[in-house]
A = this chain, B = another copy of it.
């Protein structure tokens, strides 16, 4: 069985695992107050070009989103997001559980437009009853999106400018950031992300670590008391150094870049194989998630030896499916698939 269901099916990249094994029997203080974590935070600040940023390591994506958004918003505010956004759909109500409404915007293959954000906020305050409605207090976007698509630098700049024009912060969920930074035609850098977002996170779980997300706060007054907030959200890892060590490996020796390049290269190869086999590419995704329209008998036949996600029916006899590559995917996986598509 070859597997393209998701990018969190294996353990950790071997360089990350080796760092964990090498430090396993060291004794350090808990909760991220250890030297490994301090060193990795400095490394991330440097990679981001943000010497004054606060960096905090959390365990998972839903947790990171819920903690940051809860800390940023005032009680009467909600968070703007694409109606396809992870926080709007797939977090079991974690944002609402901390008291905040997700205010949804239309999405274009997973992306929101600066124009829609601008209009939403302008129309909100133009409504005579706006004080009876939930105020838009921040914007959440994911880069890459849940559909594998990517904002261009120009789009990111427009979103950031629109947010700041309306005096709300921009938050970027970078769960799959590695696969975005090395996507086909990607024209933005981690420094651009850090410059344009007020708060963002760089994902580890899907990009090479066992688990973990690095939250970066460039606009520090937004999250002035991050430590107790993270603890309160149950998101503070006792053995915090495990995060420092893993992200240390991830951001050393170009590993994060290599991971991104590898998965994207395989995703492109996979897409070409599908195209050659005559199947429609449903979303133009330059990253590690690829969406195809397949006849149902092909889906059934492939499923005998390949796992991938079912996204929904298209008419009577076809379906949309998702294939995901990761740092753990191999050229052999693709060759096998090419053969099956034969």
Contacts and interface: CB of A to CB of B under 8 A. Distances in A.
Interface of A is mostly: loop
Contact of A228 (B135, B225, B237): B135
A11 interface: yes
A44 interface: no
Given A71-B75, A93-B101, A94-B232, 14 more contacts: A8-B239, A9-B27, A10-B24, A12-B24, A76-B225, A89-B133, A91-B232, A92-B132, A92-B134, A96-B99, A96-B101, A131-B228, A132-B228, A234-B234
Interface stretch (A54-62, A148-156, A186-194, A260-268): A54-62
A5 B25 contact: no
B20 A75 contact: no
A111 interface: no
A239 B211 contact: yes
Interface in A100-137: 100-102, 128-129, 131-135
A63 B234 contact: yes
A212 B321 CA distance: 33
A163 interface: no
B225 A74 contact: yes
Contact of A99 (B74, B99, B235): B99
A9 B30 contact: yes
A225 B136 CA distance: 13
A97 B77 CA distance: 10
Contacts of A101: 93, 96, 101-102
Interface string A9-35: 111101001001101111111100000
11 contacts: A6-B29, A9-B28, A59-B211, A60-B238, A61-B238, A76-B229, A76-B232, A89-B132, A90-B129, A94-B232, A135-B225
Nearest to A132: B90
Count of this chain's copies in the oligomeric assembly: 4
A242 interface: yes
A3 interface: yes
Interface of A: 3, 5-6, 8-12, 14, 17, 20-21, 23-30, 59-64, 66-67, 70-71, 74-76, 78, 89-94, 96-102, 128-129, 131-135, 205-206, 210-211, 225, 227-229, 231-239, 242, 310, 328
Contacts of A231: 62, 91-92, 94, 131-132
A62 B234 contact: yes
A105 to B, nearest CB: 14
B211 A242 contact: yes
A29 B129 CA distance: 12
A60 B234 contact: yes
A131 B227 contact: yes
